[in-house]
Amino acid sequence: MEMLYPIFSRNNFNLRKETTKAAEFTNDETKEIIYLVPTKKEISIILNPEIVDKKAILRADKKFHSTALTQFPKEMHTGAAPIHYGYSFKFANESELDSFLYSFNRI
C-alpha cells in the first residue's frame, strides 16, 4: 500500500493518518479526504458520500462501511450502531489511480 503514497502526494494529497484498515489522505488545497484501503486484487479508495452526491460525474462502485473512515458520516448498516461509510472506487493499476486523482482535483 505504501508504494501508492507518491501518487497521492503528486496529486496534492498528504498522508494524515495510517492504520491497518486504511490510510487517510487530505488534499492541501481543497481539504477533501480520501481513504486508501488495503485489498488483494485492485487499488481501492473511499470518497466522502457528501462529495460523491454533490459531484454527479462521480460514479461509485458501492458503499463501503468501516470504523477507519473517521472523517466521514455515519449510517446504520448491519450492526446495532451507526458506522462510518463512503463510496468505493476501484482501479486496476497505479496509472488509473493517478488519472482519477488528477481529474478529481479538477471537478
Number of neighbours of residue 38 by Cβ within 10 angstroms = 11
Q: What is the mean pLDDT of residues 19-25?
A: 95
At residue 57, the pLDDT reads 65
Name the residue type at position 29. E
Strands 23-27, 13-18: parallel, antiparallel or unpaired by DSSP?
Answer: antiparallel
Is the pLDDT at 60 greater than 80? The verdict is: no
Torsion of CA 81, 55, 28, 75, to 10 degrees: 0
Q: Does the model's pTM come out above 0.85?
A: yes
pLDDT in tens, 35-54: 999 988 899 999 999 888 78
Is the pLDDT at 2 greater than 80? The verdict is: yes
pLDDT over 90 percentage in the chain: 69
Q: Name the CATH code of domain 2-104 (choices 3.30.70.3270, 3.50.50.60, 3.90.1150.40, 2.40.110.10).
A: 3.90.1150.40
Q: What one-character DSSP code corresponds to residue 79?
A: S
